[in-house]
Amino acid sequence: MTSFIRYLKEVGIEMAKVIWPSWSELVGATIVTLIIVAFLAMFLFGVDALLQLGAQKLYTIYGGLR
């Protein structure tokens, strides 16, 4: 139990050393993150659509062959 209390005290000391971002830095980083996530989602959607189209073409060409 004493080691747990010591751990909590050390966590408090380390948390006091943290340099927290300002509100404007936080908002800016959040906006950049959302833009990157939206771009990657659209990119992956496009890649998925192209792969699906390619797979459908291959299936129509070679699907009837047995």
Per residue in 44-63, pLDDT (tens digit) is: 999 999 999 999 999 988 88
64 band by pLDDT with thresholds 50, 70 and 90: low
What's the confidence (pLDDT) of residue 66?
60
Which pTM does this prediction carry? 0.66
Is 21 within 8 Å of 29 (Cβ atoms)? yes
Q: How does pLDDT run across 21-49, given as a tens digit for each residue?
A: 999 999 999 999 999 999 999 999 999 99
The ranges assigned to domains in the chain are 19-66
Predicted pLDDT at 63: 80
CA-to-CA distance for 66 and 17, rounded, in angstroms?
69
Single-letter amino acid code for the residue at 45: F
